[in-house]
Structure 1
Amino acid sequence: MTWMITGGAGYIGSHVAAALVAGGHRVVVLDDLSTGDPARLPAGVPLVRGSILDRAVLDRALRGHEVRGIVHIAAKKQVGESVARPLWYYRENVEGLRTVLEAAVEARVRSFVFSSSAAVYGMPDVDLVTERTPCEPMSPYGETKLAGEWLVAAAGRAHGMSTASLRYFNVAGAASPGLGDPGVFNLVPMVFDRLSRGLPPLVFGDDYPTPDGTCVRDYVHVEDVASAHVAAARRLTEDGDAHLVLNIGSGEGVSVAEMVGIIQEVSGHTGTAPDVVARRPGDPARVVASAESIGKELGWSAAHGVREMVTSAWAGWQLRHP
């Protein structure tokens, strides 16, 4: 059985590709390389360069590689950008997904794993976010992910495809320095960037109702995210009637202040006190996953800790910014 990974040359996609190959699966990657890098791919994995909106490219790739399972990761994913360009985000994320699903049905693909996000939850007022927590996304990006989950589930049930929507929480780290996150959009690389330029890290608000006043988040190592995809792929292959929606998180909360402290220790930049600035609109005080369901359904749990996550991310940052 061959799995196609859309967006497989990107940060998360390349880790999923490596994990699937290590698990003995045949893999082909489809990526437009707008943010991906072919050098990230495991040796021997074929790359089809093209857009998920290009039905002809999809059809040729699915037929040519005899694809029977898809891991759909390709998407635009910046919250602020989605607010500024909602029409583009809906086109890329929802219409792109619809095009992939349409091609998948035509090609008789039997299993479909969808890369979703904790952004579907919005600002949940709960200690642990379960899959039953109401979804109230606060950005077009989050809306496109929730709409994507609905579309995947509906198509799967209508056309006999087993499906899983995996809601990522805060992903960081790297399996090797060359696979580190190249973007500067999430907390860990944002702090690296500030420290590397001799600037203090920014903390957006220290007056939240949390133990140290800063936001609390659930961080998960990208290798754990990849292993969750392998577990989902295995489950969908074995159970053709499965339709799952699962959190990928550690179940442990770490405050922004705690994370900044760990980053400073790992990077050796311990002498710079963070600058506390105004809260960002829409930042909830606490978002921590319940990982109970994914443990029961897939037998999966996070294997890597926060310090290991930061250490591996720092090695990647140093490689890209010597």
Structure 2
Amino acid sequence: MAVLVTGGAGYIGSHTVAELLERGEEVVIVDSLQQGHREAVLGGKLYVGDLRDKAFLGKVFEENDIDAVIHFAASSLVGESMKDPGKYYHNNVYGTLCLLEVMNEHQVKRIVFSSTAATYGEPEQVPILETDRTLPTNAYGETKLAMENMMKWFDTAHGIQYISLRYFNAAGAHEGGRIGEDHDPETHLIPIILQVALGKRAHISVFGDDYATPDGTCIRDYIHVTDLADAHIRAVGKLREGGASRVYNLGNGKGFSVNEVIEIARRVTGHPIPAVIEPRRAGDPASLVASSERARTELGWAPQRDSLERIIASAWAWHQARPDGYND
């Protein structure tokens, strides 16, 4: 039996494929390669195509004995989602609808969904619990919540059980050095900081230093990408064991400020990494940290690479070796 990984040539998807292969799973990958990289796929069977092409997707299911899906494929830039929400509804929501319909046609009843803590919007409390209100503040988070709700109703109607994993910031790179983070455009804090250390940027912009946090800069939760991959695979195992549909937060449970991330990157890289304070960005909450107690208890998951130094060091090794990324 095979695991289908949608978006498996992307950042988190490719690391999950690598972990699945290391654990002896048969892996099938679907990716349009619009954002993913062929070179990031270390094995398995890759199909290049779009989830919204149901004939293409049906062929994937017909040619492989798939028993579970891990669903990463989605557009994921918050700013872009506010400028072009239609793209996000069409790609994320309609793409997921096509996937669920084809799964149902082929009697595949297990899906693990890579969701986001952006489904919560402005947090009611920190750390955030799975039972907290979901009120997204951007179109990206709204489409992810719509995808979760769609899965709930497909479970009710067709018995397709799902686990949705909500998290904030994936970071780091495969510690074997073979794959890493390569986005265009790059929007994540740690790779942008490392671009300064590589001489690709003159400085790192810090958006606001007057928040109600110990050093005035925003606090965020960072998880090593391989730990995220492990959580997705554990979720597949939970469904294979007959586990019920469920939502889980993933997080370190502690969070680091922007200034802390920059300072640790300076130590790891040995580069001064100049920082320039800029005005706040609209909609940036002061602190976003997720409680992962439910995942720890029910999935047996806990981050093994929770040192920010280790996370940044793995990313730095990748970016030094591949300063231009995959350069497809």
Query: How far apart, CA to CA, are the structure 1 residues paired with 2:219 and 2:121?
Result: 14
Contact 1:204 1:277 in 2 (8 A): yes
What is aligned with 2:172?
Answer: 173
Equivalent residue of 1:230, what SS? helix
Contact 1:23 1:230 in 2 (8 A): no
Residue by residue over 1:137-157, the C-alpha shift from the partner in whole angstroms, topping out at 9 and shown as x without a partner, is 111100000111111121123
Q: What 5-or-longer segments of structure 2 have no aligned partner?
A: none
Q: What 5-or-longer segments of structure 1 have no aligned partner?
A: none
- In structure 2, give the amino acid aligned to 1:250: N
* Structure 1 residues 219 and 55: alpha-carbon distance in aligned structure 2, compared to 1, 3 A threshold: same
**77-86 or 259-268: bigger deviation:** 259-268
1:102, distance to aligned residue in structure 2 (A): 0.3
Instruction: Count the aligned residue pairs.
Output: 319
Residue by residue over 1:11-45, the C-alpha shift from the partner in whole angstroms, topping out at 9 and shown as x without a partner, is 110111111122222110011111112221223x1
What is aligned with 2:35?
Answer: 35
Query: How far apart, CA to CA, are the structure 2 residues paired with 1:192 and 1:316?
Result: 10
* Structure 1 residues 30 and 198: alpha-carbon distance in aligned structure 2, compared to 1, 3 A threshold: closer
What is aligned with 2:237?
Answer: 234
Q: Report whether the alignment pairs 1:298 with 2:299.
A: yes
**156-165 or 110-119: bigger deviation:** 156-165
1:191, distance to aligned residue in structure 2 (A): 1.3
* Greater than 4 Å deviation, 4+ residue runs: none
Contact 1:218 1:288 in 2 (8 A): yes
What is aligned with 1:16?
Answer: 16
- In structure 1, give the amino acid aligned to 2:288: V
- In structure 2, give the amino acid aligned to 1:234: G
Query: How far apart, CA to CA, are the structure 1 residues paired with 2:47 and 2:105?
Result: 19
Equivalent residue of 1:174, what SS? coil
What is aligned with 1:148?
Answer: 147
Contact 2:16 2:229 in 1 (8 A): yes
What is aligned with 1:204?
Answer: 207
- In structure 2, give the amino acid aligned to 1:182: D
Contact 1:203 1:275 in 2 (8 A): yes
1:127, distance to aligned residue in structure 2 (A): 2.0
Equivalent residue of 1:136, what SS? coil
Query: How far apart, CA to CA, are the structure 2 residues paired with 1:23 and 1:243?
Result: 24
1:198, distance to aligned residue in structure 2 (A): 5.4
Q: Percent identity?
A: 41
Equivalent residue of 2:115, what SS? strand
Contact 2:28 2:45 in 1 (8 A): yes
**31-40 or 274-283: bigger deviation:** 31-40
- In structure 2, give the amino acid aligned to 1:205: G
Contact 1:202 1:276 in 2 (8 A): yes
Contact 2:124 2:132 in 1 (8 A): no
RMSD of aligned C-alpha atoms? Answer: 1.2
Query: How far apart, CA to CA, are the structure 2 residues paired with 1:16 and 1:82?
Result: 25
- In structure 1, give the amino acid aligned to 2:227: D
- In structure 1, give the amino acid aligned to 2:236: A
TM-score relative to the length of structure 1: 0.96
Query: How far apart, CA to CA, are the structure 2 residues paired with 1:178 and 1:204?
Result: 32
Matches within 5 A, 1:302-321: 302-304=303-305, 305-321=307-323
Query: How far apart, CA to CA, are the structure 1 residues paired with 2:74 and 2:258?
Result: 26
1:300, distance to aligned residue in structure 2 (A): 0.3
TM-score relative to the length of structure 2: 0.94
Contact 1:112 1:161 in 2 (8 A): yes
Equivalent residue of 1:82, what SS? helix
Query: How far apart, CA to CA, are the structure 2 residues paired with 1:278 and 1:13?
Result: 34
Equivalent residue of 2:134, what SS? coil
1:265, distance to aligned residue in structure 2 (A): 1.5
Equivalent residue of 2:28, what SS? strand
Equivalent residue of 1:153, what SS? helix
